[in-house]
Amino acid sequence: MAGSAAPKHDVFQAIADPTRRSLLKLLGEEELPVTAISSHYPMTRTAVSKHLRILAEAGLVSERRVGRETRYRLEPEPLQELKKWLAYYERFWNNKLAALKRFVEDDEPEAPADRTIVDTSMGKTDL
């Protein structure tokens, strides 16, 4: 099941919207159908539904059909990608070494390398 998710929207994009972050929080509490969910928001039911779809495509919520309603609930796993991404940067505030490094670099007249191709992950980070 590890690779069953083929995220059309990535997590970063999914959580960029405040409404969607709010939805995640709401759906972490309990599973809810669309109409109940949308009653919490100042927008139409359809708009909420579209946000839910984007979250679903990112794998952050699951849909379950129950009778005539569709119930949504939080699916936290994809957030691990975020966590992993963040972990890379923790060294910058956990280590004061980073600050030291910058200090040293500031003393240098010229930094040599702009050849370093740090960027390897411009596209998708499909896990």
Partner DNA sequence: AGAACGTGAAACCAAATGGTTTCATAATAA
Partner DNA sequence: TTATTATGAAACCATTTGGTTTCACGTTCT
Residues that bind a second copy (CB under 8 A): 1-2, 12-13, 15-16, 18-19, 21-22, 24-26, 28-32, 36, 39-41, 73-74, 76-77, 79-80, 82-90, 92-94, 97-98, 101-102, 104-108, 111, 113-114, 116-119, 121-123, 127
Closest CB 10 distance from a second copy, rounded Å: 8
Question: Which tokens sit at 118?
Answer: 């740090």
Q: What is the DSSP string of 59-80?
A: TSEEEEEETTEEEEEE--TTHH
Question: Which tokens sit at 115?
Answer: 């050849």
Rounded Cα gap, residues 44 and 123, in angstroms: 33
Our CB check for DNA shows the closer of 94 and 121 to be 121
